Amino acid sequence: SQELEQSPQSLIVQEGKNLTINCTSSKTLYGLYWYKQKYGEGLIFLMMLQKGGEEKSHEKITAKLDEKKQQSSLHITASQPSHAGIYLCGADIANDYKLSFGAGTTVTVRA
């Protein structure tokens, strides 16, 4: 079973609409990363969260880490075609600096 569960597995959103992706673990997340991956390419860093309750924003993307540090969400406001891709959460779940990843959420933005 996956140590990091992402939901949904995929989603289709109309351009201009908002979307939210969740990343959940049964273990404490010591460092939570959000990456974006285009099909067949490497991972592009989006944001990193460490503290419980932390929230960061960059352009139209906001990521939050809950107080218990076991769940994170990624929210995109007013989605654009450039937001299409696979979003992966990665986290240190054993406090050993190694990252475990979720399986990813595929986002499609329809014009």
**Using the rule CB under 8 A, which residue among 104, 105, 107, 109 binds another protein?**
104
By CB under 8 A, tell whether 85 contacts another protein.
Answer: no
By CB under 8 A, tell whether 2 contacts another protein.
Answer: yes
Q: Phi first, then psi: give them for residue 4, nearest 5 degrees.
A: -115, 120
Q: Between 17 and 38, name the residue whose CB sits nearer to another protein.
A: 38
- In angstroms, the Cα distances linking 88 to 45, 70, 71 are 10, 16, 13
Q: What DSSP character marks residue 84?
A: -
Give the CA count within 13 Å in the CB-facing half-sphere of 40: 0
* Distance, CA of 40 to CA of 59 (rounded, Å): 25
By CB under 8 A, tell whether 1 contacts another protein.
Answer: no
Q: Provide the mask over 7-26, with x wherever binding to another protein is found by CB under 8 A and - wherever it is not.
A: --------------------
Q: State the residues that interact with another protein by CB under 8 A.
A: 2, 4, 30-31, 33, 35, 40-45, 48, 50, 88, 90, 92, 95, 97-104
